[in-house]
């Protein structure tokens, strides 16, 4: 028996922020030509989750407004660190954007060392979306309420897993907060993304 933390858009996206690397040395002429090639939005999660869906919707609208191709590049793994590092190491020319999430704010406090500087390597551009944490279970599960969930976890300690879409994501920390408040022990199972973590 297991349960999953998700949101109404299939991923938890509190304070979702698009982050871009912009050149400090840009001149007016270069900016007047922007964009003159493909703009990439890196999503640090697997395809099919809420962040990916929002990024693809955003890319369509950006392409219309900019008159240029805007593509999505999924780079999941390590609780968003792989995709974030890819953007941090890209040219700071405004053509590589990051769909930042809760994990980007939390990772510096969870990891002693990151392969990028979260404060110096990125510039926030826009708040894109917000959503709320919810708990879901398989429809055939006997768990029908939070009280049922707590009772089941206490009846069978250390045997109930909960699915998230990565270490350091809001799903992970929501689960840990739940464990602390409810006085239960649950095992966190990190999936590649929220599309992989559906309750089964």
Q: Residue 155 belongs to a domain with what CATH number?
A: 3.40.190.10
- Note whether residue 196 is domain-resident: no
Please indicate, yes or no, whether residues 125 and 154 belong to a single structural domain of this protein: no
- Would you say residue 27 has pLDDT above 90? no
- Would you say residue 119 has pLDDT above 80? yes
Number of domains in the chain: 2
Q: Which domain holds residue 156?
A: 3-7+132-190
Q: What is the pLDDT of residue 63?
A: 96
Mean pLDDT, rounded, of the chain: 82
Helix (H, G, I), strand (E, B) or coil at 41: strand
Please indicate, yes or no, whether residues 143 and 84 belong to a single structural domain of this protein: no
- Note whether residue 199 is domain-resident: no
From 79, 97, 129, the end of a domain falls on 129
Please report the beta strands in 25-165, taking only residues with DSSP state E, as ranges in sequence order.
Answer: 39-43, 70-74, 96-100, 123-129, 134-137, 161-164
DSSP state at residue 118: T
């Amino acid at each position: 028996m297991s349960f999953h933390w998700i949101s109404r858009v299939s991923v938890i996206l509190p304070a979702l922020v698009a982050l871009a690397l912009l050149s400090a040395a840009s001149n007016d002429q270069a900016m007047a030509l922007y964009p003159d090639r493909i703009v990439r939005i890196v999503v640090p999660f697997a395809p099919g989750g809420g962040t990916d869906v929002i990024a693809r919707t955003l890319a369509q609208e950006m392409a219309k407004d900019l008159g240029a191709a805007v593509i999505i590049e999924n780079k999941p793994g390590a609780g968003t660190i792989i995709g974030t590092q890819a953007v941090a190491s890209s040219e700071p020319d405004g053509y590589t954007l990051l769909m930042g999430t809760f994990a980007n704010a939390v990772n510096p406090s969870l990891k002693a060392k990151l392969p990028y500087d979260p404060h110096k390597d990125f510039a926030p551009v826009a708040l894109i979306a917000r959503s709320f944490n919810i708990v879901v279970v398989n429809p055939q599960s006997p768990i029908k309420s939070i009280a049922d969930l707590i009772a089941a976890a206490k009846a069978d300690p250390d045997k109930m897993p909960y699915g998230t879409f990565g270490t350091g994501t809001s799903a992970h920390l929501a689960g840990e907060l739940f464990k602390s408040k409810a006085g239960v022990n649950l095992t966190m199972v990190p999936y590649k993304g929220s599309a992989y973590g559906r309750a089964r």
